[in-house]
Amino acid sequence: MKGEGFLTKNISNFTHTLESVILTEDLCHAPGLLQSLDSRVKVVTFVLFIVTVGLARSLAILGTIFVLILIFSFLSKVSLRFFLKRVLLFIPIFTAVIALPALFITPGEPLIAVAGKLIITEQGARTAVLLFLRVVDSLSFGMLLILTTPWTSILVALRWFRIPSLLVDILGMTYRYIFLLLHTANSMFLARRSRTIGTLSSGENRRWLAIALATTMAKSQHLSEEVYLAMLSRGYQGEVRVLNDLRLKRRDFLWVAFALLAAFILLWGNSL
């Protein structure tokens, strides 16, 4: 990759990340099914769902779960097109790359022969689809959770589950400063891009990239000192206190009951 192509690629990369997260935050406040549930309940039930996906052993169960996911997202005002686009976008390309050869190399009954010699075996097809569906289902649950729950509520839930407050505080602050640093990096790339005429060698680009990264690192270090002083002057003594007005409603209990029942029925399907 030469000169400006490399810069443009990075800029669009940063902008894309920023954009997608801003979009996420909008959906958290829409009036929908999942948005109305307590964040703790949601975290627990979604972990339960993901474990169920992990334990499911047949295509039928994984397919049923995907239908459930689509219903959840419809009831939570997440547009189907947006959701599918996002999930399919996030499915790492390598899942497809990994699943493909399994079609051919898994020993078993031949299903279809491609180009005479390549034979897709029945077991191979099952293996590939099983892996693909499992990845799609797990990813969709993670996506739904983050699309319908504000980040701060997830952090409060994590603290409620006795995750050490040190880790939760770091998580919260890291998320905040990622955007500042992304923005800083983006400006550096834009500035560089606007000064670049013609093409640069990839060695030149790498040298510039190293300097950009090292500068960002030094800036982070400097900023961490300033942030610490700012926290100190506001009375920080090593612990962050949060307002905690979590209260479970009737629908939360109903949802937990539903989730348990669904997981039980789905896993019972394993023994059929």
Partner 1 sequence: MHIPDGYLSPATCGSMYAVAVPFWYLAVNRVRKVLTNRTVPVLALFAAFSFVLMMFNVPLPGGTTGHAVGGTLLAIVLGPWAAVLGVSVVLGIQALFFGDGGLLTFGANCFNMAIVLPLVGYFIYKVIASNSEATSPRRLLAAVAGSYLAIVAASFAAGLELGIQPTLFHAADGTPLYAPYGLNVALPAMLIGHLLIAGPVEAVVTGGVFAYLQRSHSSLIKADAPRKKEGKLWLLWGALGLLAFATPLGLLASGTAWGEWGVDELKNMGLGFIPQGLEKLAGWWPAPLPDYGFPRMGAVIGYILSAVVGIALVAFLLWMLGRWLSRKSLAKQESSAKEASIE
| CA–CA dist 10, 250 (Å, integer) | 48
CB 90 within 8 A of CB 142: no
For residue 52, with 0-12 CB atoms within 10 Å meaning exposed, 13-18 middle and 19 or more buried, which class applies?
Answer: buried
Task: Count the alpha carbons within 13 Å of 71 in the hemisphere toward its beta carbon.
Answer: 6
Taking the C-alpha atoms of 59, 60, 66 and 70 in order, what is their torsion angle to the nearest 10 degrees?
150
Measured from the CB atom, the residue of 70 and 123 that comes closer to partner 1 is 123
Please, what is the minimum distance in Å from the beta carbon of residue 9 to partner 1? 5
Measured from the CB atom, the residue of 110 and 164 that comes closer to partner 1 is 164
Please, what is the minimum distance in Å from the beta carbon of residue 50 to partner 1? 6
Q: Is 120 helix (H, G, I), strand (E, B) or coil?
A: strand
Please, what is the minimum distance in Å from the beta carbon of residue 216 to partner 1? 6
| CA–CA dist 139, 143 (Å, integer) | 6
Measured from the CB atom, the residue of 71 and 163 that comes closer to partner 1 is 163
Measured from the CB atom, the residue of 30 and 210 that comes closer to partner 1 is 210
Please, what is the minimum distance in Å from the beta carbon of residue 260 to partner 1? 17
Identify the helix (H) or strand (E) that includes residue 121: strand 118-121
Please, what is the minimum distance in Å from the beta carbon of residue 75 to partner 1? 21
* Token pair of 197 as six digits: 């005429």
Measured from the CB atom, the residue of 76 and 184 that comes closer to partner 1 is 184
CA distances (Å), origin 164, targets 38, 105, 118, 145, 157: 21, 46, 53, 22, 12
Taking the C-alpha atoms of 36, 37, 40 and 42 in order, what is their torsion angle to the nearest 10 degrees?
-110
Please, what is the minimum distance in Å from the beta carbon of residue 11 to partner 1? 10
Measured from the CB atom, the residue of 98 and 190 that comes closer to partner 1 is 98
Measured from the CB atom, the residue of 37 and 56 that comes closer to partner 1 is 56
Please, what is the minimum distance in Å from the beta carbon of residue 36 to partner 1? 21
